[in-house]
Amino acid sequence: MQEFPTPGEIVELGAEAIVQRWKKDVKRARQLVETARSSIGLTEGLPAAKIEIKTLLEQYDMFARQLEEILAEVERLLPQIPGTKEMLTVPGVAVVTLAGFLAEVGDLRGYEHGQQIIRLAGLNLKENSSGKKKGKSSITKRGRARLRALLFRAVVLMVAKNAEFKALHQYFTKRSQNPLKKKQSIVALCVKLIRVLHTLGTKQVRY
């Protein structure tokens, strides 16, 4: 996009030149040219559009560089926190995930047990009832929304990468008695992940 930001320029360039410039295979290059040809519409305002595209691409490159610098600093600082090396032995728990988790909860030594962090995340259960009638239980959501979101994203990935979490997810959702919906299973696994991280971080033992 930096070299040829408009459909017209792509069509004028042609598939063979695209292969030489961008190292794409001929089939993909031809598809790109055909798509560009069908996208050609109004030509008014193209100079301004090209400037805007150039500015956006430069901003993207700047943000990408800044992100790389931040990630490098996180990777440098994280090992200085006791227990992080052990917590990173959990398959599917990445440096960014663990850094975000610790940024939300602080020093794990300040929690006697994982249940305190579960409440902090708003993942503890409450019973929905009216009068004498008992209803279904649901999470309180009274804790930190960013922590819940971080845990949810982490567990969704872990269900694919962590054999234990994958097996538990299948069990929770397919068991014969009281099977959970997929989202309920993910919430249950978020709770488990909190307990696992608390244990590994405070006792400094591997997964």
> What's the domain range around 72?
7-76
Provide the pLDDT for residue 58.
Answer: 83
Q: Do the domain assignments include residue 2?
A: no
Q: Do the domain assignments include residue 136?
A: yes
CB 140 within 8 A of CB 114: no
The 8 Å CB, 24+ separation contacts for 67-70 are: none
Alpha helices in 78-181 (DSSP H): 84-87, 95-105, 114-120, 145-161, 163-174
Question: Is the pLDDT score of 152 beyond 90?
Answer: yes
d(CA 85, CA 157): 20
Q: Which of these three, 17, 45, 76, is where a domain ends?
A: 76
My answer on whether 40 and 108 are in the same domain is: no
Q: Which of these three, 60, 76, 92, is where a domain ends?
A: 76
d(CA 37, CA 10): 8
Q: Do the domain assignments include residue 173?
A: yes
Per-residue pLDDT tens over the stretch 91-135: 999 999 999 999 999 999 999 999 999 999 999 866 554 555 554
Q: Do the domain assignments include residue 164?
A: yes
pLDDT band at 85 (very low <50, low <70, confident <90, very high): very high
d(CA 88, CA 93): 6
Contacts of 18 (CB under 8 A, 6+ apart): 10, 24, 29, 32, 33
My answer on whether 105 and 195 are in the same domain is: yes
Average pLDDT of 188-207? 95
* Domain tally, the chain: 2
Burial class (CB in 10 A: 0-12, 13-18, 19+), 87: buried
My answer on whether 53 and 101 are in the same domain is: no
Residue appearing with tokens 């997929």: 182
Provide the pLDDT for residue 12.
Answer: 61
My answer on whether 21 and 104 are in the same domain is: no
Q: Which of these three, 44, 76, 108, is where a domain ends?
A: 76
Q: Do the domain assignments include residue 1?
A: no
My answer on whether 115 and 92 are in the same domain is: yes
Query: Mean pLDDT score of the chain, rounded to an integer?
Result: 82
Considering only residues 72 and 53, tell me which one the structure prediction assigns the higher pLDDT: 72
My answer on whether 70 and 97 are in the same domain is: no
CB 86 within 8 A of CB 200: yes
Per-residue pLDDT tens over the stretch 9-30: 666 656 666 666 666 566 666 7
d(CA 159, CA 163): 7
